[in-house]
Every structure is written in structure tokens, then in C-alpha cells.
């Protein structure tokens, strides 16, 4: 899955914005609390290349686990998280950007 090289940093600049959760975000056992924790201090955030309005965040949860979180923007103040899982190796190089 190709990733764009520029960083959007939507969430970290808009911490007052709201977060909605699609039920699919919890499919892999990651809780809302863990997702919110990782979103508050992203290590990487950027758009998914070739996917309109889809973004990735890499961040550590409250237990130190690196998560990959996908979201889309609903409006200027709201995001919809639809995927969260322990970060796969394919995304680790993003931490070096």
C-alpha cells in the first residue's frame, strides 16, 4: 500500500476536533481508549496515496504498542476512524520520515 511522502498532521493540529469510530475500527481488538491515546501523540501522520480522503497515523498506545490507525475526514472538525491494529512491518519505515 503506497504512502504519500508529505505529512498532513490533521489530528495533531486539531486536537479540539471530534473523533467518530466506525465499528470496524475495533475489529482487531484495539479499544477506543488505546486509539485516542495514540492519536494524541502521533509519530507519523499522512495521507494514503491513491486513496482519496484516507489517512494513516502511527502512534503508541498507553501500553507502548505501536498502532496503525486509518481515518477519513468527515469535515474540518471531525474524523472517522475505521481501522486500528498493531502496526504491521510494512509501515515501520514511515517512522524514519
**23-82, pLDDT tens digit by residue?**
999 999 999 999 999 999 999 999 988 899 999 999 999 999 999 999 999 998 999 999
pTM of the predicted model, to two decimals? 0.83
Q: Could you identify the residue written with the cell 503508541?
A: 60
| Residues pairing with 48 in the sheet | 3
CATH of the domain at 77: 3.10.450.530
Contact yes or no for 9/79 (Cβ under 8 A): no
Domain that holds residue 56: 10-96
Rounded to an integer, what distance in angstroms lies between the CA atom of residue 33 and that of residue 93?
25
pLDDT the model gives residue 49 = 82
Count CB neighbours of 2 within 10 A. 8
Domain count, the chain: 1
Contact yes or no for 45/13 (Cβ under 8 A): no
Q: Is 2 a domain residue? A: no
Amino acid at each position: 500500500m503506497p504512502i504519500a511522502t508529505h505529512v498532513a498532521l490533521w489530528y495533531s493540529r486539531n486536537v479540539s476536533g471530534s473523533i467518530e469510530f466506525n465499528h470496524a475500527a475495533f475489529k482487531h481488538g484495539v479499544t477506543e481508549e488505546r486509539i485516542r491515546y495514540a492519536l494524541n501523540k502521533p509519530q507519523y501522520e499522512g495521507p494514503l496515496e491513491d486513496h482519496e480522503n484516507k489517512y494513516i497515523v502511527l502512534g503508541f498506545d498507553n501500553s507502548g504498542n505501536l498502532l496503525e490507525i486509518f481515518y477519513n475526514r468527515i469535515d474540518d472538525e471531525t474524523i472517522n476512524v475505521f481501522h486500528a491494529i498493531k502496526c504491521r512491518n510494512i509501515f515501520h519505515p514511515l517512522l524514519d520520515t
